[in-house]
Amino acid sequence: MACLLEAPLRISVLSVTASSRHYVDRLFDPDPQKVLLGVIDMKNAVIGNNKQKANLIVLGAVPRLLYLLQQDSSGAELRTECAVVLGSLAMGTENNVKSLVDCHIIPALLQGLLSQDLKFIEACLRCLRTVFISTVTPVQLLYTDAAVIPHLMSLLSRSRRTQEYICQIFSHCCKTPDHQMILYNHGAIQNIAHLLISFSYKVQMQALKCFSVLAYENPQVSMTLVNVLVDGELLSQVFVRMMQRDKPIEMQLTAAKCLTYMCRAGAIRTDDNCIVLKTLPCLVRMCSKERLLEERVDGAETLAYLIEPDVELQRIASITDHLIAMLADYFKYPSSVSAITDIKRLDHDLKHAHELRQAAFKLYASLGANDEDIRKKIIETENMMDRIVSGLSESSIKVRLAAVRCLHSLSRSVQQLRTSFQDHAVWKPLMKLLQNAPEEVLVMASSTLCNLLLEFSPSKEPILESGAIDLLCSLTQSESPALRVNGIWALMNMAFQAEQKIKMDILRALSTEQLFRLLSDPDVNVLMKTLGLLRNLLSTRPHIDQIMSSHGKQIMQAVTLILEGEHNIEVKEQTLCILANIADGTTAKDLIMINDDILQKIKYYMGHSNVKLQLAATFCISNLIWNEEEGSQERQDRLREMGFVDILHKLTQSADPSLCDRAKTAMQQYLA
């Protein structure tokens, strides 16, 4: 039986290969007419047949087709048919496209665009469009020759097809700010704007997509778009018309993206009617159950991006069409229909389930970024905290990132930190996530942990017990400035009003070497948070004295270096506040009194032009001369000799009321 079954199978494979070989052989016929007929037959054979396409590629059809396409002697019809077959081969698998690109199809097709024959040009553009749509094609190939973009711009006027294909090529190949500027500088806006009112829907759509990729995070392009007129009408108004409910969904959504990107780039105000009354409601509509799953994903992600930085837009969105409740539906896929009755539906739902959850988490994160009432509504949505907790351990990295973003947004709420966050022990999956995750997730997760470590958060204690100190200290050694900032920030929050044991554990785990490395970190945010940590460690007298007795020499060295260095006002103010804390210690203050260099620096900053620095420096002196403390008389005498009383007297005349009061309080210590 096995032999009987095997023979016909082998024959069928051989016959397919043989027939494919026959197509390729005909490309080499000396009779041009027979070659043309062979190419036409090949075109008909490959339509919808991926196996045939793969066979022809393996058998070497592509180099021959490209050769024929590039020969003027081939004649317009043959060259056009070659471009059509190549386009058809490109519509197969990613491997097919890769083979075509490896055979240098792109330079050959771009060369073909120099022809005068419109049909041939259109066939080359259609093929280029198909090749560039594929994710395996390096888009940079469009920009290699500087003459290509201007030539494509000149072909836009030739026909509706050239308009459609060229706009599609641009929208797929515009991936970076550099690409945006190349297209912008070659007149993309002027050349494409009038296509928005083309009689062809396909042309309109591709032009619209072009504007969305050109405007994305690009202030220069967006500012230009605002002033563009299309047939006497402002471009933004053309986009508004395209968002009308009677327009196709794809058009509404893409027009809303254009206005969203222009708004985020600062070209349109967030309170402009075209945003508040048109774009935002349009995007909320895209989130409704009536829309296709992919439209709901796109709508929610674009809306999240639109409202992310603006509290007023967040408030408006939260009360538009029950959006918060509507988003809960995003978590109900795959739907509960039986897999047997509707296998196609299940497959479709499964494919989009991750994207839907990711989009919902992103939008919830944007909605809850600032407003306490909105956060409360989000958390009260059915099973919301459970959904976030399970989202943190999903297999999809994008869902995990979106879930932790959402958690970060909600963790800004004092009320929720005390209630929902504790009830659901969200710190557990968060700590697990911090053990092993890509940098982007680590940054967001560690940022959320900073909030969970605030002194009023009930999660603070269990997080400490789960070994957070070592984890956070390891983050401070990361190459990523954002992770270093978050690691030190979380330790700073942990040290705030903490008991002595925790402070000593932090110092031990961090090590003085690492602490001083962080104090000379090139990133000013890392430096500021490290100073904040030091300030929190050096609070309450017994703690100040103990830490200064073991680490005093290094801390005074670091303080000196910072006060001497080229640092901004905030850094120097924070450093003087640390000195003021040291001056508040019982024995620690002696480390300042025996250090002439530090005393001279305090004196210098008392006379500084910046009031913040004067205040902080005066606070140091106030703590050093406080009457009720042992040795205050000797300290007062020493500082009087150094001229501090004269400076204090001058400061009592200051125009700044806080500085004036602080100086008067210090002067009273001498008079008492």
Other Cβ atoms less than 10 A from the Cβ of 72: the count is 8
Query: What pLDDT is attached to residue 418?
Result: 72
665 pLDDT more than 60: yes
Task: Label residue 232 exposed, middle or buried (CB < 10 Å: 0-12, 13-18, 19+).
Answer: exposed
Residue 453 DSSP SS3 = coil
Position with higher pLDDT, 463 vs 188: 188
Residue 229 β-bridge partners: 234
Q: With cut-offs at 50, 70 and 90, classify the pLDDT of residue 335.
A: low
What whole-number percentage of the chain has pLDDT above 90? 77
- Centroid of chain to Cα 357: 17
Q: For the chain, what is the mean pLDDT? A: 91
> Is the predicted pLDDT of residue 3 greater than 50, yes or no?
no
Half-sphere exposure of 210 (CA within 13 A, CB side): 29
Rg over alpha carbons for the chain, rounded to the nearest Å, is: 34
What mean pLDDT is predicted for residues 61-79? 93
Distance, CA of 366 to chain centre: 13
- Highest-scoring range by mean pLDDT, 88-102, 303-317, 332-346, 348-362: 303-317
**Backbone region of residue 18 per phi and psi (left: phi > 0; alpha: psi in -120 to 50; beta: other values):** alpha
Q: Averaged over 311-330, what is the pLDDT? A: 96
What pLDDT shows up at residue 5? 32
Distance (Å, rounded) from C-alpha 512 to C-alpha 515? Answer: 5
> 464-484 pLDDT, tens per residue?
888 899 999 999 999 999 999
Q: State the Cα–Cα distance between residues 171 and 210, nearest whole angstrom.
A: 5
- The percentage of the chain sitting over the pLDDT mark of 70, rounded to a whole number, equals 95
The whole-number pLDDT of residue 341 equals 58
Could you tell me the pLDDT band of residue 15, with boundaries at 50, 70 and 90? very low
Residue 76 has pLDDT above 50, yes or no: yes
Residue 579 and residue 620 in contact, taking contact as beta carbons nearer than 8 Å: yes
CA 388 to chain centre: 20
If you search the block for the tokens 């919301």, which residue do you land on? 384
Q: Cα(11)–Cα(655) distance, rounded to whole angstroms?
A: 100
Q: What are phi and psi of 233, to 5 degrees?
A: -115, 140
| pLDDT confidence tier of residue 250, bands split at 50, 70 and 90 | very high
For residues 228, 232, 236 and 237, what is the CA-based torsion angle, rounded to 10 degrees? 180
154-200: per-residue pLDDT in tens?
A: 999 999 999 999 999 999 999 999 999 999 999 999 999 999 999 99
Per-residue pLDDT at 627: 81
Please provide the size of the chain in residues. Answer: 672
567 phi, psi to nearest 5 deg:
-115, 160
* The two three-digit tokens of residue 416, written as one number: 């929720």
pLDDT for position 170: 98
How far lies 235's CA from each of 215, 251, 279, in Å? 13, 15, 14
| Cα–Cα dist 422/420, whole Å | 5
pLDDT score of 13 more than 70:
no
Q: What local confidence, expressed as pLDDT, does residue 344 receive?
A: 67
Strand partners, 230: 233
pLDDT at position 337 is 54
**Which of 451 and 206 is assigned the larger pLDDT?**
206
The answer to whether the CB of 196 falls within 8 A of the CB of 207 is yes
Q: How many CB atoms within 10 Å of residue 589?
A: 24
- Say if residue 200 is exposed, middle or buried (CB neighbours under 10 Å; 0-12, 13-18, 19+): middle
DSSP string covering 371-437: -HHHHHHHHTSTTHHHHHHHHTT-S-HHHHHHHHHHHHHHTT-HHHHHTHHHHTTTHHHHHHHHHS-
Provide the pLDDT confidence category of residue 20 given band limits of 50, 70 and 90: confident
Tell me which of 27-36, 329-338, 589-598 is least confident: 329-338
Three-state DSSP at 545 gives: helix
Q: What was the pLDDT predicted at 464?
A: 86
Q: How far apart are CA 38 and CA 14, in angstroms?
A: 20
pLDDT at residue 17 above 70?
Answer: no
